[in-house]
Structure 1
Amino acid sequence: MSLRSGFATFAGKSSYWFLHTFLHGGSSLPGKITLKLDPNILRTLGAKYDVIVITGTNGKTLTTALTVSVLNQKYPAILTNPTGSNMEQGIVTTFLNAKHPKTGRPLAVLEVDEANVIKVTQYIEPKAFVFTNIFRDQMDRYGEIYTTYQKILDGVALAPNATIIANGDSPIFHSKELPNPIEYYGFDDQPDQDMKAKPNTDGVLCPVCEHILHYHSLTYSNQGKYFCPNCGFERPELTYRLTKLGEQTPTSSEFEVDGHAFKIGVGGTYNIYNALAAYAVGRFMGVAPAQIARAFNGNQQVFGRQEVIDVDGKQVTIILVKNPVGLDQVLHMIGTDKEKFSLVGLLNANYADGIDTSWIWDGDFEQLTQRDIPAVITGGERYKDITFRLKVAGIPDDKHIVEPDLEKVVDEIKQVPTERVYVLATYTAMLQMRKILATKGYIKEGLGV
C-alpha cells in the first residue's frame, strides 16, 4: 500500500468510525472522502478479494442479501454492502469497513449500480457478474434499456474472463456476443404456447431481425421463454431452471429449481427471480441445494425491501419502488393479501431516485380500485405528483390523506383502521422514513448517509 493509499484509507476509516458511532450512519460519505484523497483506492482495497458483482435494474439488494446467505453456507467471511449503497463511494466504504479473515482469500458480494460497474472493473477483475434484469428506469441517468445494458457491458469488457450469470428470460442478455463464459437461469414451469407481451412493453424486438418476439411462456413484462418466429432467435439453454411454482403470498413464495423445493420469506414473482439468481451463484460456487434451502429459510428482510416494522401495533411493510415494471409487480404482490390493508405512497425525485417522476403514470395504480382499501396516504417531496396520480387512478377523496411531512405520515399510519400497512417509497423517501422510525425507536439501526 502506497503512502497516499494508506493516508486515504486511514481518513476514510476514521470518518466511518465517527459517523457510525455518533450519527448511526456512514454508508457513503467515508467513501467520498477516501476517493477524494486517492481516486484509485479500489485497486488497493479490493486486491485481496474474490469479487462477485450483482447488477441490473430491479432486485439487486435482495439478490445480494440472498446470495450472501447462500454463500455463507460454505464461505464464512463475506464482505457485502447490505444498505444498497451501490455507487463507487458506497463500495469504497464497504471495503473500508472490512474485517479480514485470518486465513483464506475473502469473498466480496457487491451490489453495483449499472453505471458504476466500470468504476469497479477498472480496478478489480470480478470472479463473476450477476445480471438480474434491465427495465426502463431513471431515464435522466440511463436512457433507454439498450444504453443501460451498454453501460454494464463497458464494465464487463474489462473483465473478459469473469463468468456471467444472467437472467436467461430477459432477451437483452442474449442480444450480444460476449467472450465471457455465461450461465443462464430462468423459468421453465409452463407448457409451451404462442403469445406476445402486452402492448407498450419494452425490449420485445428481436435483436437479430427486429421482428416482434413471441413467447412460449411469460412471467411478467418482457421476461419469459421468448422466440422469434421470423429468424429463429430464441432463449438460450438454461443452466438453472425453475421447474415449478407453488403457493405465493405477500410474505412467502414456494417453488422448485432443478427439482429441488425451496421457500423464501418474501412475496412476489420478481423476488423468486432474485432467489433463482442467488441459487445460480450458489451452485456456481459449489453450494449444495440442501444448503441453499437452509439459507433461504432464514429471515430475508433486508434494508427497505419488504421489511416489516411494528409501529404501535401496525405491521408496516416498507417496499422500494422506482420504475413502472417494479411498481406493477409490487402492486400485484400486495394484491394477493387476503387481509385488508392501508397504503402509503412516498415519492421523492432526488438524484438517487431519478429526477423524472413521469414513470408513475405508466404504473397500473388503477388496480388498487379493485380492493376496498380504507385509507391511502400520500407524502414525500413530490407529494403533489403522487397525490394527483392516485386521484386520477380513482382513489376516493374521503379515503385519501395527503401529508407531505414524513414524521406526520408516521402519526397518520398509527391512526389507519387496518393492522397491515404497505409503504411504497422511492429510495431517498425510504431512507428518510427509516431514519424517522429509527429516531422514534421502532428500528434500531441502518440509517445510512
Structure 2
Amino acid sequence: MNLLNLCKRHSRRRWVIGFLVSVNMGLSAANPAAAADYKEALARVLDDHKRLLGVQADLRASEAVFGKARAAWAPELAVSGNIGHSSQRVGADNEASSLAPREMTFSLNQLVWDFGKTRAEIDRAALQRQLSSLTVVTTKQDLLLEGLTAYINLHRARVTLDYARKSIDNIRRQTGQEESMVALGSGLPTDVLQAKSQLAGAQARGVLAHGALDAAVNRYVALYYEEPPELASIQPIPIPFEVLPATLEDAIDIAFESNSLLKRLALQEQMAEAEFRRVKGDELTPAFNLIAQAKFKENTDNIRGQRKERLIKFQMDFPFNLGLASLRSREAARENLLSARFRFDDAQDTLIEQVRNSWQGLLTARGNADFLMNQARITAEFLELARQERLLGTRSLIDVLTGETALINAESFATSAEADVGIAAFTLLRTIGVLSLDVLEENQADLGSH
C-alpha cells in the first residue's frame, strides 16, 4: 500500500472530524502561535536537557582522548634530577670523604615505528569520537520523539477530559429533565434509573480521564523541565505526511542509510577491527624508538667535579610473555571483532522488523482513525434522526440520551485515534533515523502552502 496516497486521502477526509468536534479541538490545522510554542519548547529540550548535556560531555571527552592518541607520534621529553649526600670511607684508619652529588637528565624519545599499534589507537579514538557524536544525534532524536509524544498525549488527555466532562454534564441534565417528567407523571422511572446508571459510568470515565491528564502533565514536566502551557491553548501537532516515505521499501532503504543504531554498530565493528590491529602491533611485534639523552653530573660516583654525557641511540623493545599471553590477547580481539560483525548483521535484521512494525503501526492507526471518524459521523446522523423522532413521540428521552452519549464517546475515540496516528508517524520517522526539528519546520511550511 502506498502510504503517501493513504495520507493524502486522510487529508481530504479531515473535514469529517472538524464537523464533529468543536473548533478549539479541530485537527485540520493548528494555531500558528501554539505551533511556535511547542517548537520553542522542543528546541529548549534539545538545548539543555540533562540527558543531552551528559552525552555532549562524553563527546568532549572523546575529542580529548583523540587528541591524546594523536600526540603519540610526537616526541616525548623526560626530565629527571636528583641531589643528595654521599660518604665513602676507604680503610679503617682513613677519614670518610663527603660529597654532595647532583645529577640532571634530559631524555627525548621519538617513536619511529610500532607496526600499526599507534595508528590503530588513533583510529580507535577517532571512531570513538564519531560514536560519541552519533550518540548526541541519537539522543536528540530520542528526546524529540519523547517530547512530541508527551505533547500529543497532553493534548489527547485534555480533549478526552473535555469530552468526559461534556458527557457527564449532558447525562446529568437529561437525568434531571427525566426526573421532573416522572414527578409530573409523564416520565418513566426505568428511564431515570438507566440514566443514572449511564451517569455513573460517565463519572468513572471522567475519573480515568482526569488521572490520564495528571500523568500526561507529569510526563511533560519531567521532560521539558517546565509546566505545560495553558491546557485550553494546546493544539494538535500537524502530522508530517509529506515527509514520510512513500513505500515500505523506501522506508527500509532510508533506515539502512540513516538509522543511528545501525550506524553505532557499524562504528563499533570498526573499533573492534582497530583494537585487533592494536593488539597485534602492541603484543606481537617490536617497537622502534630513536632516543637522545643528555646528562649533567656533579660529584657523582664519588668523583669530584662536573661531567657531561650525551647519548643518541636507536632502540628496539619487544616484550614477550612466555605464558603466551600475547596470543591470548590476539585471540580475544579476533573473537570480539567477530562478535561485533554478528551484532551488526543481527541489527540489520532487527531494523527491518522495526521499520515494518512502525510502518504497520502507522497504517493500523490510520485505518482505526478512519473507521472511528466514520463511526462518529454515523452516530451524529443517528442522533439527528433520534431527536426528530423524539419530537414526534416515537423515541424515548433515554434513546436520545444514549445517542448523545454515544456521539460524545465516538468523538473522543476519534480524537484519541488521531493522536495515535501522530505518534505512529513520528515513531516511523525516528525508526528510519530522519526525525528532527527541520522535519517539523518543513511540515509546517507544507501545511501553510496548501
Answer yes or no: same fold by TM over 0.5: no
With structure 1 as the length reference, what TM-score do the two structures score?
Answer: 0.19
With structure 2 as the length reference, what TM-score do the two structures score?
Answer: 0.19
Q: Report the structure number with the largest CA radius of gyration.
A: 2
